[in-house]
Chain A
Amino acid sequence: MWLIKHIPPMAKALICFTFVLVITSVLIWLLNPVIIPVLVSLALYVCLLPLHDWLTNLGWRRDMSAMAILFLMMFVVLVPGSLILAEFNEQAMLWQSKASIAGQSLNELLGLLSEKLAQWQFHIEVDQLKANILAGLVKDNGSFLSSISSLVMSISSSLLLVPFITFFLLRDFESLRNKSLNSLPNKYFELGWLMYFKVAKQTQGYVRAVLIQQSILAVVAASGFWLAGFDSPVILGLIAGVLGLIPYVGPALGLLPPFYLVLANPEVGFDAMYTAVLVIGVAYLVDNLLVIPLVVARFANLHPLVALLSIIVFGNFFGILGMIAAIPLLAISNIVFYQLLLSFSPKKFTTNVASFH
């Protein structure tokens, strides 16, 4: 007891934070086989909650409202989603089959680049660079296109599960949340609610804003690619939208699929790369002018360098999903740690108000 009393607040907060982190990691590990459908369902739950609230406010029962939304999702999400994913799978296979053509085009492009650079006394190993780029883009199992492909495949295979998880979240999430938080000991009951309230408020706002913004980005990019005459503009727009969920590095990654398409279809001509840069540039300019200052920075309150490093580290361990989740997870950790520190601080807040209320 004496020891607990004399542990500094920072150490206490660190111990508790580590405990929370361990429990969260175990939960994520347990949920690993269904992590993508659960995350997609949670995002949908956050977006559909206002509609659910509106229906229940009109006098609908919670389960009836959730059921109506489930049917709506079947038509709005499942049908177009299945069509788009089928198209994506077809395109992904086509892209993989054109790897050798892309290799030849890349060789040609790098040869041109090497000649230009030689004029400036710079020399590059064309073969080595070509091998590295192709391995990173398409050949290896951990390559960029196969990562995108496996992410989309996971989403498509879990597409059937998503509406049902969302239905149960809409129907029962609040009572599950209440039961979990009310099971906390008296001493930590208010602290638990406070942390949940802050995290939920911020993440809900973030998820809604980012999903709306990325949908706009996907539409802008798809329209741009369609106007520029690219094949499968919808898929390219969708990839740009998904990668746009990754702050800071999303634009660079979003350029890779159209570049690869240009390389795999040399008849289009390398000039199309400039068009791709322009399309992605315009789409991300709109995105960066709105999302990063208004949504990401406000939500996370993180230094850009910290955010960038966290994206790289999470991406290294958990792939594209880790890159998307890096900022929200870091911001949530920030809130939880700050609240823990505040609650263990012996001075906490002091006030001169005479009233006890």
Chain B
Amino acid sequence: MAGSPFWQNLFRPDHKQKKHVRDLWLATPIFSGVSANQCQQLVNDMAIRRYENTEAVFKLGDVGIGTGLIISGSVRICMGEKVLAQLEEGDFFGEVALVIEAPRTATAIAAGDTQIVFFLRPQLESLLSRSPRQGAKIMQNLAKVMANRLGSTNTLLEQSHVAD
């Protein structure tokens, strides 16, 4: 009972962990160029959640509201039975939901005991109104990340067409 994700999500010790989480976010392209202080302020309000092995983080078609960063453990991104990617500590996923209210386009499943920190759209919008410069920096970074993802997807599509 005490070891269930519900109770651990409710009563988790997080002071030391939050510095580690800040460093993980600062290492991602989303927070490139954002000050450590600003990032720490955002991390203080972020939700850190624990998932059991094979527990769904989100499912295909769910409405997303934020991006997740893996603190420990790993996450499998699946489309039906097919595993599209296996993400590890420091990887992030679902960043489109930070910008628009879009459905999740794949299912994310925890592989092993996994901790994920979520950066949510309300936090980004709040940052944009409180500190527009830092907010704009994150938006710009997000645009770059998504442009890169689009580029990779196009390359994959091209390769599959050639293979056909």
Contact = CB atoms under 8 A, between A and B. Distances in A.
B153 A354 contact: yes
Contacts of A53: 126, 129-130
Interface residues of B, number: 45
Contacts of A57: 130-131
A303 B115 CA distance: 46
Contacts of A191: 62-63
A351 B103 contact: yes
B122 A193 contact: yes
Contacts of B63: 190-191, 194, 339, 342-343, 348-349
A111 to B, nearest CB: 61
B65 A193 contact: yes
A32 interface: no
Interface string B93-118: 11110000111011000000000001
Given A53-B129, A194-B65, A357-B146, A189 B105 contact: no
A182 B103 contact: no
Assign chain A's interface to a size class: 20 to 34
Interface stretch (B16-24, B26-34, B43-51): B43-51
B79 A356 contact: yes
Contacts of B153: 354-355
A181 interface: yes
Given A178-B47, A356-B84, A357-B149, A348 B65 contact: no
B103 A350 contact: yes
B52 to A, nearest CB: 9
A320 B62 CA distance: 40
A57 B135 CA distance: 13
A186 interface: yes
B89 interface: no
B79 A183 contact: no
A357 B145 CA distance: 10
Interface of A: 50, 53, 56-57, 174-175, 178, 181-183, 185-187, 189-191, 193-194, 196-197, 200, 339, 342-343, 347-351, 353-357
23 contacts: A53-B130, A178-B45, A178-B47, A181-B47, A182-B9, A185-B6, A186-B5, A186-B9, A186-B57, A189-B118, A190-B58, A190-B64, A190-B65, A190-B118, A191-B63, A196-B122, A197-B65, A200-B122, A342-B63, A353-B105, A356-B77, A356-B106, A357-B94
Interface of B: 5-6, 9-10, 45, 47, 49, 51, 55-58, 61-66, 77, 79, 84-85, 93-96, 101-103, 105-106, 118, 120-122, 126, 129-131, 146, 149-150, 153, 156-157
